[in-house]
Homo-oligomer: A and B are copies of this chain.
Amino acid sequence: METKIPEATAKRLPLYYRYLNNLLSANKLRVSSTELAEAIQVDAATIRRDFSYFGTLGKRGYGYDVHKLIDFFKKILDQDTLTNVALIGVGNLGHALLNFNFHKNSNVRISAAFDINPTIIGSIQSNVPVYGMTQLQEQLQDQQIEIAIITIPAAIAQEVTDKLVQAGIKGIMNFTTVRVSVPQTVHIQNIDLTNELQTLIYAINHD
């Protein structure tokens, strides 16, 4: 599967995939782009354009076959293989993420956590083992982990990021407020909750 698709389309794939699985659970075997549009609040034209990147998957007047779409997206999203990710920093937010550990049918799982707090190193938190930072390189290699979530203080964000890059990490989900620097080969997904909330406040105040 080597189609080069736009980033905005890629971002919607997991959303499509999750909703299609909901449809299947409800025994719904076909769906129109209009129905999809209403459910996931993306306009129908965008959905049809997104789907067109993968070839013609729908039939006019019939809609899309839910089974076929799911099989198709499953392959693109590599949902057949479980992806293990690491969590760096088991503070409040870290704990919440361990407990949440992503959705059951997402095939993503935090399999190792890391912290500097000696009272939790060596313990199992929400079914996930917590290692010391000195074990980072070894564990990431042993567990073939390529993705890390960082929920650490801003002051050490860059330092820890450098260690992760050194250990071969290819993607970082960054919950800190720091925009960390990484080589071009490493992907960063910034989740800045304060920023999101302020954007919402700004939108409301400037309506």
Contacts and interface: CB of A to CB of B under 8 A. Distances in A.
Q: How many copies does the complex hold?
A: 2
A56 interface: no
Given A92-B100, A171-B201, A189-B197, 10 more contacts: A1-B206, A10-B202, A11-B199, A17-B198, A41-B179, A102-B197, A103-B194, A106-B198, A173-B197, A191-B191
Most chain B Cβ neighbours within 10 Å, of A83, A189, A191, A195: A195
17 contacts: A11-B199, A13-B198, A17-B198, A41-B181, A78-B202, A92-B95, A92-B100, A102-B193, A108-B198, A146-B204, A147-B197, A173-B197, A173-B200, A187-B200, A187-B204, A189-B196, A191-B191
Nearest to A10: B202
Contacts of A201: 77-78, 83, 108, 147, 171
A115 B189 CA distance: 31
Interface of A: 1-2, 4, 7, 10-11, 13-15, 17-18, 39-41, 76-78, 83, 85, 92-93, 95-97, 99-100, 102-103, 106, 108, 146-147, 149, 170-171, 173, 177, 179, 181, 185, 187, 189, 191-207
